[in-house]
Copies of this chain bind each other. A is one copy, B any other.
C-alpha cells in the first residue's frame, strides 16, 4: 500500500521560480571567495571599503538575501529568541510588540509561536525549540511548573507574568501587592467598602492578585467585606461572574476589582447591558492596562504594568543567561501603578 501522502519525488523543487541566489552566487559574480562575502554581510573587519561596496552592489543586483536557517545552523549561537504568547490575550500582544525593539537592539531575531485552542502550549514550545530558539520567553504560560522546570534545564527560559516556586528559570513580572493596594486605596478613597474581586482561578498571576486583594482589604479593616468571585482571565469569565452577581439575591458590590482587563471588560458588558450604570452603581477596575483597555472604547480604570520595561528586562534576562553571566533563577519585579479612568467613581448611596 502506498502511503496516503505520496508527496515524495515531486517534493524536491517546488515552483520552477528562479532559484534563490546564495552567497556562492554573489562570490562567483565578483570572482571572490564565499568567505569574503560572508565577512561583508556579517560586518566583520577584513574587507576593504571598496570590496564591501562591490559585494553589496552585486548582492542587490542578484537579489541575494542571507538564509537564516543556514546561518543559524552554522553559527554556534542562533541569536533567535522564541516567544510564546496567547494570541487572544491583548496583554500578551502588547508584550510581543514591546519585545521586538529590545530584541533587535541586542541583536536577536524573534520567532513567534501562538498558543491557540487547536495547538497546546507544549506543541507551540516544541516548534520554537525546533526553530533553534536559543532561549524562550513565555508570556503567562499555563503549563505545569514541572514542565517549565524541565524546559529550563534544557535552555534559558524567561517567564513573564507568572510566579513560580522554584524553577531554574528567570521570572519577570510586576509586584501585585502595591498595585492591588492602590486599587483598594483608590476605591476606599472614593467611599467604597463593598469591594469584590473577580479572580482568575489558577491563571498566571491570578493567585497573587487574589492574595494581594485580600491583604489590601484587611489593611483597610475591611476583612469582613472580602468577597471573591470565581472568574477567569477571559471576557467570558467576567461575563459569567457578572451574570452570577446579577442573579444573586445579595446586593451588588459597589466596586469590583477584576483579575485582568479581559475579565473586567466582560463584567462591564454584562452590567452595562443589564442597565447597571458604570461607575455610578458599580465601579470596575481591571488589571494590565492592555491596549484594549487604554486605547479603546472601554476607558477602564486599571493597573498598568510597565510593559516596555517588562519586555526589556525579559529580553535582557534571556541575553544574560545566554551569555552565561549569571545562573538562571532570578526574579525581577516591577512596580505597577493605578491608572484612573472612567469606570471608577464614588458610589451613590442607595
Q: Choose one: B18, B68, B153, B235; the contact of A297 (CB below 8 Å).
A: B235
A270: min CB distance to chain B, Å: 7
Q: Choose one: B7, B87, B296; the contact of A269 (CB below 8 Å).
A: B296
A272 at the interface (CB under 8 A from B): yes
A154-B118 in contact (CB<8A) = no
A231: min CB distance to chain B, Å: 14
B154-A17 in contact (CB<8A) = yes
A101 at the interface (CB under 8 A from B): yes
A134 at the interface (CB under 8 A from B): yes
Copies in the complex: 2
A335 at the interface (CB under 8 A from B): no
* A134 to B20 alpha-carbon distance, docked (Å): 11
A117-B88 in contact (CB<8A) = no
* Chain B residues within an 8 Å CB radius of A111: 111-112, 131
Q: Secondary structure at chain A's binding surface: helix, strand, loop or mixed?
A: mixed
* A130 to B156 alpha-carbon distance, docked (Å): 24
B12-A235 in contact (CB<8A) = no
* A156 to B297 alpha-carbon distance, docked (Å): 39
* Chain B residues within an 8 Å CB radius of A344: none
A242: min CB distance to chain B, Å: 9
B131-A69 in contact (CB<8A) = yes
Q: Choose one: B14, B17, B77, B298; the contact of A11 (CB below 8 Å).
A: B77
B130-A65 in contact (CB<8A) = yes
B295-A126 in contact (CB<8A) = no
B14-A324 in contact (CB<8A) = yes
Q: Choose one: B14, B76, B324; the contact of A16 (CB below 8 Å).
A: B324
Residue of B nearest to A126 (CB): B65
A63-B266 in contact (CB<8A) = no
A-B contact sample (17 more), CB < 8 A, given A14-B77, A100-B119, A266-B296: A7-B107, A13-B77, A14-B323, A17-B155, A17-B156, A69-B69, A69-B73, A69-B131, A87-B97, A88-B90, A88-B291, A96-B116, A100-B118, A235-B295, A235-B297, A239-B296, A269-B297
